[in-house]
Amino acid sequence: MADFNQILTPGDVENGIVNVVVEIPQGSNHKIEWNRELAVMQLDRVEPAIFAKPTNYGFIPQTLDEDGDELDALIITDQPLTTGIFMEAKVIGVLEFVDDDEVDDKVIVVPADDRNTGDAINSLEDLPPQLLKQIEHHFNHYKDMKKPGSTVVKGFGDVERAKQIIRDSITRWNEQA
């Protein structure tokens, strides 16, 4: 199997378009992660059903967040996406997040070509406030049954903040290569 990180680039970050590989479909409580060493998707664990993902979840190739993993992406669509696919996505913001005292930010994206919404989502302000509350609640509490208080949402950032986090993650990737 080909390694996504060797083939896919991060995308056109300056113009706000990134490549994203889907790991977890929206609504799933399976924690599926890209295993960089084996170049396969791996089921890491099964979370309690009450902590199913509120959005699709994936990563931007050729990036490393401060926690040493690929930079995460929350993918907003009206239906779950399939594990292993990649897509071009429009950056609309970022969830600034700390997990076990490590920065673990999540870039928030939508499909770059979404004819269902008419490409009307361009920033976090275009999302329903309730969805942002659900995302924040999920990430503040999804580890509560195992390790309460180990996750903290620091807040949401705009498109420019998200792009800076992506650029920093690309730099970290290139420095380790």
For the record, the structure tokens of 32 come out as: 């599926």
| In contact, 141 and 148? CB cutoff 8 Å | no
Task: Give the separation between CA 121 and CA 128, rounded to whole angstroms.
Answer: 10
72 is in an annotated binding site: yes
Domain boundaries along the sequence of the chain: 4-176
147 is in an annotated binding site: no
104 is in an annotated binding site: yes
Give 90's Cβ-side CA count (13 Å radius): 15
143 is in an annotated binding site: no
Task: State the pTM of this model.
Answer: 0.95
pLDDT tens-digit profile of 79-101? 999 999 999 999 999 999 999 99
Mean pLDDT of 132-161: 92
Class of CATH domain 4-176: alpha beta
Tokens 């498109």 belong to 159
Residue 9: φ, ψ to 5°: -90, 170
Mean pLDDT of 133-158: 91
Cβ neighbors of 115 (< 8 A, separation 6 or more) are none
